[in-house]
Chains A and B, each alone.
Chain A
Amino acid sequence: MRDSEITKFLVSFSGQIEYVSFPGGVFDDQLCVHYEVVWGPDWSPMSGLTSGTSQMARSGVDPERVVFNFPLEIVFSSTNVSGWPQLLVTVRAQNTLSGDALRGYSLLLMPPTPGHLLTSAPLLRPRAATVLGEWLAWITGKYPELADPKMLASGKDNYLLRTESYGSVSATLNMISKDFRKLGYDNQPPFYNTSNTTYNTSNR
């Protein structure tokens, strides 16, 4: 195919949801992760699973984190960068007494630059609108949930939703693109932009 005939680019994301960490320790019996990929109108998934649910996991020697090591592998094709895929992770807890409860939502942008990336994103969960609701949430251990968590990925119409944040999700993601630069896009950071590496060396 000649360069002038190219209209689409392909982007492949692979990686895994490594672990969920709560800085005060995990007080739930078991945790489980559900992921969904949210994308814009010009994008279409070519292969791979766009949503999935992990195993039920519990913490080990380190009481602050629960390892999932849950693999992701998705290929997208698109004609437009706008609407770049985002990963929406929902963390749920399963307890013997209180049953199934939400622990938080987390939103990650799929990496737009090629290479290997370890990211962590904070978990946030909605708060009850009233004092009674807050009290009930505390008593029952069940927090309010969003009817459509994908609204977090659109960033619109949140009408001052009150949230709180606790814990984070860590994921390793790789990105490979095809025909991206042939279409004139430039997503490559320049080699002199070593602000991250200098920061690391100064820390050592």
Chain B
Amino acid sequence: MAELHILGQLQCASKFYDKSFIFCRYSFQAGPNWTIVSGCPEGQTVSAKLDYEKTAVWAHPVDIHYVTKGVQGWPKLILQVSCLDTIGRSWIIGYGCCNLPAVPGPHTIHVNCWVPSAIKLTDKVRQYFVGGSHQLIQSDIVNLGLNRSKLNTQSKGTVQLQINLILRNFSQFGVEYK
């Protein structure tokens, strides 16, 4: 069976102009052919303070080993960015999803995030003064393109990833990836 190693870091989040601390929950999702041999496919970063450039640096390491029987359902990374304010409340300020590249070597990936926006005026006023946000009940809408037409969203910042991919034995099975 072919193997895929994902090494790298969740580097930082930029252009999130929310509260002072930002953290991220992430999960790698892959199709039914893929099984994880080692590594943790989901986790949570430290909560980093925005620095002078309004960037929150996590430098969260990722090391995942997949074994696969087919290329359908190539792994995706799903991100959920949250903020933490000074009195310990947290809420979601961004959803994002990206497909991992299939080419070995180093990659820098920028994931642009969005969040469901407040529509009612009262919600907008409350979010401005009190904080809080709308969040998705079914978060699989983030990685699937279904049922998004009734969703109102607001643009948010960018999460930067540095990913190194190492593939094994793909060419033995006739998979042409480069």
Contacts and interface: CB of A to CB of B under 8 A. Distances in A.
Interface of A: 23-24, 40, 80-84, 86, 106-107, 109, 111-113, 121-122, 124, 127, 152-156, 158, 160-166, 183-190, 192-193
A156 B26 CA distance: 12
Given A82-B63, A155-B61, A185 B167 contact: yes
B128 interface: no
A155 B40 contact: yes
Q: 4 tightest A-B contacts by CB?
A: A189-B105, A165-B57, A190-B178, A164-B49
Contact of A186 (B55, B61, B166): B166
A156 B58 CA distance: 13
Mostly, the A contact residues are loop
Contact of A155 (B37, B62, B106, B169): B62
A192 B103 CA distance: 11
Interface of B: 5, 7-9, 11-12, 21, 23, 37-40, 43-49, 51-52, 55-57, 59-65, 84, 103-106, 162, 164-172, 178
A23 B105 contact: no
Contacts of B62: 155
Given A107-B9, A186-B166, A82 B46 contact: no
B158 to A, nearest CB: 16
Contact of A188 (B40, B57, B104): B104
Contacts of A81: 5, 7, 65, 166, 168
A160 B167 contact: no
Q: Count chain B CB atoms within 10 A of each CB in A121, A124, A158, A165 and give the residue with the most.
A: A165
A163 B51 contact: no
A184 B59 contact: no
A107 B7 CA distance: 13
B12 A122 contact: yes
Contacts of A189: 103-106
Nearest to B59: A107
Contact of A184 (B8, B48, B169): B169
A82 B48 contact: no
B43 A155 contact: yes
Q: Count chain A CB atoms within 10 A of each CB in B23, B46, B56, B172 and give the residue with the most.
A: B46
Contacts of B64: 82
Contacts of A193: 103, 105, 178
